[in-house]
């Protein structure tokens, strides 16, 4: 009997335990920071932070309504980039908290 790569074992265990949504949410939050930096520049990582993913809506905390508007203008591009990196349509839209 051969060994399975740990990646496959972990993925199977995560899916069977029902933790997949939480793992996906954590990965989306990480990816949002990278995408935000690419799209708007590094200074925006200090002005906005992804908080959580629920019902395909990624909630973002922003320091001001101006920051929220800047991100909102690029929402489609950001959402598409996140979904492309995740290789799944996990995010439908962004929600902002100021």
In the chain, where the domains are located: 6-97
Q: How far is CA 3 from CA 6, 9, 62, in A?
A: 9, 10, 46
Instruction: Note the pLDDT of residue 45.
Output: 86
As its CATH architecture, domain 6-97 has: 2-Layer Sandwich (3.30)
How much is the pTM?
A: 0.81
Q: Which residue has the higher pLDDT, 8 or 80?
A: 80
List pLDDT tens digits, range 42-91: 888 899 999 999 999 999 999 999 999 999 999 999 999 999 999 999 99
CA separation for the pair 83, 61 (Å, rounded):
20
Alpha helices in 3-74 (DSSP H): 6-17, 20-40, 65-73
pLDDT score of 59: 97
Measured between its terminal Cα atoms, the distance across the chain in Å is 55
For the cut 80, the answer to whether the pLDDT of residue 11 exceeds it is: no
């Amino acid at each position: 009997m051969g060994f399975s790569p740990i990646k496959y074992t972990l993925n199977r265990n995560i899916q069977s335990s029902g933790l997949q949504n939480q793992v996906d949410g954590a990965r989306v939050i990480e990816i949002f920071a990278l995408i935000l930096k690419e799209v708007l520049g590094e200074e925006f990582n200090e002005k906005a932070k992804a908080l959580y993913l629920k019902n395909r809506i990624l909630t973002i905390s922003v320091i001001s309504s101006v920051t929220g508007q800047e991100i909102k203008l690029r929402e489609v591009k950001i959402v598409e980039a996140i979904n492309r990196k995740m290789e799944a349509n996990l995010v439908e839209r962004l929600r902002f908290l100021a």
